[in-house]
Structure 1
Amino acid sequence: MRIILLSLILVVLTGCASNVVTDYDSGVVFGNYGSWAFAPKGEGQNFTSLDGGRIESAVEQELNRKAMRKVDPEEADLLVAWQIVEEERLERSGVGFGFGFGSGNFGWGLASAPPVREIEEGKLVVELVDTETDRVVWRAASRRYLNENQSSESRRELIDEIVADMFEKYPPGV
């Protein structure tokens, strides 16, 4: 009975864990913002990547749901800046091997560690910048990652889910 109860509590707590982390300037009145635009691209970057197009489409859809108007960057109250932050992590694949012999309190053994490989993943970060002050007023970062092994359809679905989770918490305090 205890095991079932502990399992249920673990499932509930896992379900409550958020896939995004947000932060914001508590001194800002978010109701004053009614228009937005994507921040201009950096110097020498004249194109939008495949994931960039997916991200921009998802952000536009979410901000439309918030009844915000998309305008030219010169007229916008907020600029939307996004980036995919590359992170490396180690992943164990397979199992190690070992053997030993002995009896009582004495014995010998040899073992090998499981193979480890390095995986590069990208976490999405979206920031909203006040055009009057040139300061970030809201930021969201994903706890879910994009990786090279995902198909284009699964990447689009993941980006849509992540961006929807992010803007579910915008404007803050609502």
Structure 2
Amino acid sequence: MRLLYRMTPVLLGLALAACSGVQVNTNYDPTAVERIERFQRYAWLPQPQGKDSRVYNDITDVRVRMAVDKELQSRGYQRVEMSDDPDFLVGWQGAINTKLSIDTVDSFYGYPWGPYWSPWSSFYGPYGYPYGVGGPRTYVREYEVGTLILDGVDAREQRLVWRGTAQAELHRNLSPEAFQKKIDEAVHKLLSRFPPSPEKR
């Protein structure tokens, strides 16, 4: 029984990790769809400022811009300077929030265990019931969620016309390479819905 109790948090962690991919959502101004579809040239808004130094720093800014530039330019958009009359402006924001996951698991899964269990012992106890029947146990896990917001601003009218939000769990001690991969995945999923259309909602 002790072995199962030790293994259960690990199994829960693996299950959560398996479904902890990047989740995205986008929104847009429906009156601006035709104009957005004609966008060809973009420029970057100034680097955002925020209190969380884990998010708002030169390194993260470079990583986000690299991912966005790669994605947009692979689809034919041209990056220009703000003074070169861009069609739209791109900006980003971010956050890292701590969350709790509370999972209650029944301690009996139909396997024989108990202080006297061995591979050669009977599955059933003296009264015909499997060993190890017990009540549910609750496990609490603390984890961090990163949020990336990409904004598309109509340069001529100076108004927000498209916004994408991506969220993903950030594992502790994330390497720079793994962090870049998370950003790349988030940006790819977000910009696959740009320009907006009913099929890309």
- Superposition RMSD on alpha carbons, in Å? 3.3
What's the secondary structure of 1:129's corresponding residue?
A: strand
Q: 1:149 to 1:64 in 2, by over 3 A?
A: same
Partner of 2:42: 36
CA separation of 1:36 and 1:22: change in aligned 2, threshold 3 A: same
- Residue 64 (structure 2) aligned to one of 39, 42, 55: 55
CA distance in 2, matches of 1:76, 1:48: 25
* Change over 3 Å in CA distance of 1:61–1:42 after alignment to 2: closer
Counterparts of 1:156 and 1:18, CA distance in 2: 13
Cα distance in structure 1, aligned partners of 2:102 and 2:175: 22
8 A Cα contact 2:22 2:166, kept in partner: no
> Which runs of 5 or more structure 2 residues have no equivalent in the other structure?
1-18, 51-55, 106-134
Task: Give the alignment partner of residue 85 of structure 1, picking from 84, 91, 95.
Answer: 95
1:116 positional shift? 4.2
1:64 paired residue number = 73
1:53: how far off? 1.4
Match of 1:100 in 2: none
Q: Which residue pairs with 1:27 in the alignment? A: 31
- Contact preservation (8 Å) 1:122, 1:147: no
State the identity %: 30
Residue identity matched to 1:78:
F
CA separation of 1:37 and 1:145: change in aligned 2, threshold 3 A: farther
Q: CA deviation at 1:130?
A: 0.8
Q: How does 1:69-148 map onto structure 2 within 5 Å?
A: 69-74=78-83, 75-91=85-101, 116=140, 118-148=142-172
Displacement after TM superposition at 1:70 (Å): 0.5
Unaligned runs of 5+ in 1: 1-14, 96-110
Evaluate the alpha carbon distance shift between residue 38 and residue 146 of structure 1 in structure 2; reply closer, same or farther with a 3 A threshold.
Answer: farther
* Secondary structure at 1:137 match in 2: strand
Q: Distance in 2 between matches of 1:42 and 1:149?
A: 24
Q: Is residue 48–residue 93 contact of structure 2 (8 Å, CA) maintained in 1?
A: no
1:42/1:23 CA distance change after superposition, 3 Å: closer
How many Å separate the matches in 2 of 1:146 and 1:83?
A: 17
Counterpart Cα distance in 1 of 2:159 and 2:37: 17
Q: Which has the higher strand share?
A: 1
Q: 1:153 to 1:127 in 2, by over 3 A?
A: same
**C-alpha offsets along residues 29-86 of structure 1, whole Å, 9 cap, x if unaligned?**
2222111011023579xx9522221111010011102211111113211111101123
Aligned-partner Cα distance in 2 for 1:165–1:70: 20
1:24 shift after superposition:
0.8
